[in-house]
């Protein structure tokens, strides 16, 4: 796998072999870190961390991973720089590209992370946009691999807001990796037709399936049941409407029982709103998996930076 100089904007741009390569590299970096071994792969590299939206996991993961590998991270919050206020994305990209070796961007528009990559001339990593959250999927894949040994053939069900950044990115990632992927959501929150059709092509190549359903029995046979907040960042005004429409799709003990399996795990990208998308009892029962997932953000983000920018 040679990803040197590449940006990480959406999983659409990566082959199944490259995605697997990043997960494998993350597992290796994680094992080394547990032994107290960190690298110098980013020595001398300056990394800009642009956050238009708040973050706990993604910010901390980029920061810790960068420092672990000998690099220098610089946090640039929404009120710290001119981006979006007094300066175009293109001009900010050209300036940052002359000073930094890599740029992480979390914000609203996918178009902006793509512009940053186009105009900066350095690797740009998508730390979440309204449309995609690709680094989260690598952490989820590392966690699934730790739980089940491998990805291919697993049955994965995403429950809740089936058209948000997590649902979109999980559908792309799962279909590429041969994971049977189901969206369980009310029809009004199903993913866009164009993206589903694109993912159906990936799934056909990988020998897996994509299913959209609004019936709770869609969780039957699931190896993993995954959910995310009902209102993503920037959608707060829609809270009442979303709660009303998604209440029947809460991940609770009854829904977990509908899988018909004792071995099913529950996953969540976090932050969670307990009492909405998941009950506190289900969350607590699977807390070890959920917090492994959170920790794995750091190891997988480290893998992305090392693979695309690292010295070795
Ligand atoms: N999962 C995730 O991206 O968390 P943060 O919003 O805290 O970064
Ligand atoms: N869909 C959520 C994911 C948070 C990690 C959001 O965009 O707020």
User: What confidence tens digit (pLDDT) does each residue in 228-279 have?
Assistant: 999 999 999 999 999 999 999 999 999 999 999 999 999 999 999 999 999 9
- Interatomic CA distance for residues 193 and 203, integer angstroms: 15
Please report the atom of ligand 2 found closest to the CA of residue 128. Answer: 7
Please tell me whether residues 142 and 123 are part of one structural domain: no
d(CA 264, CA 293): 15
Which residue out of 6, 57, 59, 106 is catalytically annotated? 106
From 271, 294, 304, mutation site for ligand 1 pocket: most ligand atoms within 8 A of C-beta: 271
Q: Report the pLDDT value the prediction gives residue 312, as an integer from 0 to 100.
A: 67
Are 146 and 257 found together in one domain? yes
Cα separation of 193 and 215, whole Å? 19
Q: How many domains does the chain have?
A: 2
Please indicate, yes or no, if residue 276 is contained in any of the structural domains. yes
284 lies in the same domain as 155: yes
Q: Mind listing the pLDDT tens digit for each residue in 90-145?
A: 999 999 999 999 999 999 999 999 999 999 999 999 999 999 999 999 999 999 99
Q: How far is the CA of 260 from the centre of ligand 1 (A)?
A: 31
If asked whether residues 164 and 204 sit together in one domain, one would say yes
Which range of residues forms the domain containing residue 93?
11-133+297-309
Domain identity same for 33 and 182 = no
Residues 288 and 141 in one domain: yes
Ligand 1 touching residue 176 (CB < 6 A): no
Same domain (yes/no): 161, 227: yes
Does ligand 2 have an atom closer than 6 angstroms to the CB of 232?
yes
Share of the chain residues as helix, strand and coil, in percent rounded to the nearest 5: 50, 15, 35
Ligand 1 lined by 143 (C-beta under 6 Å): no
How does residue 65 score in pLDDT terms, banded at 50, 70 and 90? very high
165 and 78 in one domain? no
Q: Please check whether residue 210 is in contact with residue 199, taking contact to mean a CB–CB distance below 8 angstroms.
A: yes
């Amino acid at each position: 796998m040679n990803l040197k100089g590449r940006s990480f904007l959406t999983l659409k741009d990566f082959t199944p072999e490259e995605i697997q390569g990043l997960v494998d590299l993350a597992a290796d970096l994680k094992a080394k870190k547990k032994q107290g071994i960190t690298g110098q792969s980013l020595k001398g590299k300056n990394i800009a961390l642009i956050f238009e939206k708040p973050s706990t996991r993604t910010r901390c993961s980029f920061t810790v991973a960068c420092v672990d590998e000998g690099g220098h991270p610089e946090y640039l919050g929404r009120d710290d720089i001119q981006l979006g206020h007094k300066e175009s994305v293109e001009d900010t990209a050209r300036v940052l590209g002359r000073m930094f070796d890599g740029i992480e961007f979390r914000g609203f528009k996918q178009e902006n992370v793509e512009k940053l990559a186009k105009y900066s001339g350095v690797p740009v990593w998508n730390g979440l946009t309204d449309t995609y959250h690709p680094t989260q999927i690598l952490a989820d894949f590392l966690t699934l691999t730790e739980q089940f040994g491998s990805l291919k053939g697993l049955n994965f069900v995403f429950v809740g807001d089936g058209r948000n950044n997590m649902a979109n990115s999980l559908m792309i990632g799962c279909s590429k990796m041969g994971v049977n992927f189901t969206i369980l959501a009310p029809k009004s929150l199903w993913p866009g037709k164009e993206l589903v059709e694109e993912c159906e092509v990936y799934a056909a190549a990988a020998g897996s399936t994509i299913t959209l359903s609004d019936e709770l029995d869609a969780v039957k046979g699931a190896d993993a049941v995954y959910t995310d907040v009902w209102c993503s960042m920037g959608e707060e005004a829609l809270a009442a409407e979303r709660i009303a429409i998604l209440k029947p799709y809460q991940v609770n003990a009854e829904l977990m029982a509908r899988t018909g399996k004792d071995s099913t795990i529950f996953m969540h990208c976090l932050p969670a709103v307990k009492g909405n998308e998941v009950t506190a009892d289900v969350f607590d029962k699977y807390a070890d998996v959920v917090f492994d997932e959170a920790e794995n953000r750091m190891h997988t983000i480290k893998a992305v930076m090392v693979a695309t920018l690292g010295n070795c």
